[in-house]
Structure 1
Amino acid sequence: MPAQDPEQDERLRAEIWRSLYDFFLGEHERLLQSVSGLGVSPGDLKALMRLVPGRGEPMRALADTWRCDASTVTWIVDRLERQGLVERRPHESDRRVKVVALSERGRDLQAALFARLYRPPAALADLPPAELEALHRAAARLRPHS
């Protein structure tokens, strides 16, 4: 077995990461274009994808999850509420707190967005089965461990 060259290994990892990152950015642009006709901005998309159907989230929790300040959450929630995609509701145990929940229309839109997001890119259809299997194995190992 040939000796491994750490510099060559690092270059290979960097090349792989650059290719994957560029691929994902291109696919993200494809997703944004495909949902633009639905009246969903990139910020709306990010928010909608992170809300959990059937569960209300306090505005403060959304700010933490979305990694933004409370005024940004208010602005995004106002936009989504005007579109009928979310509802503000009173918190179950603290009437001073408002929670945000997907409306029925929001749940439907979120399901459509997930369907588009998880639709395999055309580039995968060009890979032969053996390469798809290898990519599947590698991707499974790259999943974050919680």
Structure 2
Amino acid sequence: MAAPQKTRPDELTVEVVELIGEVVGRYHADYEEAAAGHALTGAQAKLLSLLSLDPLPMRKLAQKLKCEPSNVTGIVDRLESRGLVERRPDPADRRVKLAVATDEGLRVARDLRDGLQFAREPLAGLSADERRSLRDLLRRMLDT
């Protein structure tokens, strides 16, 4: 049986994909720069940002960061040694350890978010309706 023939994407789709790639690249570069300003790696900053939303078990952090649990343990160890994160037993299952951002960790995570400059100015140039449309389109892309 012959493999189904793939159709080539149209030029507009190719251009949109390339623009998304450029946006992602600029975002990562800005994120790395903001993280370095706090003597953090990108992975440490991402983990701290996740924990600023909610305490999470180590395994869930590994899933969200798309890495091995042993890597998360090392990242949490380094953040814990700086007083940005602490481990606590999960009240629902005391065998599970939660990683929790400390007050200082929450402050650093807020500073990281505030330090991201890449999209701030271009987004400010869009109307509220345009930003809502962009948000809704991105959500649709992520839901598929």
**TM-score (normalised: structure 1):** 0.74
Higher RCO structure, 1 or 2 (CA under 8 Å, sep 6+): 2
Instruction: State the shift of 1:52 in Å.
Output: 4.2
Q: Once superposed, which parts of structure 1, at least 4 consecutive aligned residues long, lie more than 6 Å away?
A: none
2:4 is matched with which residue?
Answer: none
CA, structure 1 residues 136+57, in 2 after alignment: closer, same or farther (shift >3 Å)?
A: closer
Alignment gaps of 5+ in structure 2: 1-6
Code of the residue aligned with 1:106 in structure 2: it is G
Q: Distance in 2 between matches of 1:57 and 1:124?
A: 31
Q: Distance in 2 between matches of 1:14 and 1:64?
A: 30
Code of the residue aligned with 1:94 in structure 2: it is D
Percent of aligned positions with the same letter in both sequences?
30
Pairwise CA RMSD of aligned residues? 3.0
Q: Is the 1:47–1:66 Cα contact (8 Å) retained in structure 2?
A: yes
Residues 1:141 and 2:137 are matched in the alignment: yes
Q: Distance in 2 between matches of 1:52 and 1:43?
A: 14
1:27 is matched with which residue?
Answer: 27
Q: Is the 2:88–2:98 Cα contact (8 Å) retained in structure 1?
A: yes
Which of the pair has more CA radius of gyration? 1
Q: Distance in 2 between matches of 1:36 and 1:102?
A: 19
Range moving further from structure 2, 63-72 or 116-125: 116-125
1:90 is matched with which residue?
Answer: 89
Residues 1:51 and 2:48 are matched in the alignment: no
Q: Distance in 1 between matches of 2:94 and 2:29?
A: 41
Q: How do 1:1-146 residues align onto structure 2 when only pairs under 5 Å count? A: 10-53=10-53, 55-117=54-116, 120-123=119-122, 137-143=133-139, 144-145=142-143
Aligned residues: 136
Q: Distance in 2 between matches of 1:77 and 1:35?
A: 15
